[in-house]
């Protein structure tokens, strides 16, 4: 069963680039979810509101 995590990265030349931001509290591997008015971490609850 595939996790689908490969969809969150792209390959540019010889580097792998993450498409979404990582959570500053949880670190690499935990991405922030994009909402209309905010970005939020589902693991720790960290939230940044968009202006």
> Could you read off the pLDDT of 23-41 as tens digits, one per residue?
999 999 899 999 999 999 9
CA geometry: angle at 41 spanning 37 and 46, to 5°?
A: 80
- Is the per-residue pLDDT at 48 higher than 90? yes
Sign of CA dihedral 49, 42, 33, 41: positive
- pTM of the predicted structure, to 2 decimals: 0.74
Q: Give the tokens for residue 9.
A: 């990265």
């Amino acid at each position: 069963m595939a996790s689908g995590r490969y969809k969150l990265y792209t390959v540019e030349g010889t580097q792998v680039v993450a498409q979404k931001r990582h959570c500053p509290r949880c670190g690499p591997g935990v991405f922030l979810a994009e909402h209309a008015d905010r970005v939020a971490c589902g693991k720790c609850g960290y939230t940044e509101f968009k202006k």
